Amino acid sequence: MGSAIAVALVVGISVAVQVMLVGRVSRGVHPLAVSFVLQGSGLLAGLIWTASQRAWSVALSLVGNWWWIPLGALGWGIVAALGYSSARIGASVTLALVVAAQLTMGLLLDSTSGEIELGFHQPLGVLLMLGGVLLVTMK
C-alpha cells in the first residue's frame, strides 16, 4: 500500500507541473494542438516501453476492445481542457476544481459499484474539499 501512495503522490506532483506547463503553452497555441503533441510523445514512450518489454501481444490484444478509442479521445480532450483552464484561471484553481470533481465522482462510482460503503466521513471529506476549493479560488 505504501508504494501505491507514493506513486499517487508522484502522479499528483507530475500532473500539477504538466497542467502549469500546458497552460503556459496554451496561451499562444491552441490547447488541442498542445494536447495532440503530448499524445504523440505518450505514444512514442508507449512504443519504446512495449518494444523493450516485448509486450506487443498484450498491447495488440487491447486494440480489439472498443473502449480504448473513446478513452483515448477523452484523454486528449482532458489535457486540452486542463491547458485551456490553466491558461485562464491558473494551475492551482484548475486543479482544485478538477480534484474536487474527481473525488466526488470517484466516491459516487465506488459507492454504486460496491467498492466502498458510503458513511458519514466520505461526504464530509467532499464538503471539506469543496471548502478548500472556495478558499483557493477566493481573491
Cell of 116: 466502498
The alpha carbon torsion through 63, 69, 71, 75 (nearest 10 deg) reads: 110
- H or E stretch covering 137: helix 121-137
Contact between 38 and 22 (Cβ < 8 Å): yes
Q: What percent of the chain has pLDDT over 70?
A: 100
Cell of 108: 459516487
**C-alpha span between 56 and 77 (Å, rounded):** 27
Question: Could you say which residues of the chain have pLDDT below 70?
Answer: none
Cell of 136: 483557493
Cell of 12: 499528483
Residue 34 has what pLDDT? 95
Taken in order 29, 33, 35, 37, the sign of the CA dihedral is negative
Residue 139 has what pLDDT? 81
Residue 138 has what pLDDT? 86
Q: What is the pLDDT of residues 39-55, one digit of tens each?
A: 999 999 999 999 999 99
The alpha carbon torsion through 70, 4, 132, 110 (nearest 10 deg) reads: 50
Residue 119 has what pLDDT? 87
What are the residue ranges spanned by the domains of the chain? 1-89, 90-139
Instruction: Quote the pTM value.
Output: 0.83
Residue 117 has what pLDDT? 83
Residue 1 has what pLDDT? 77
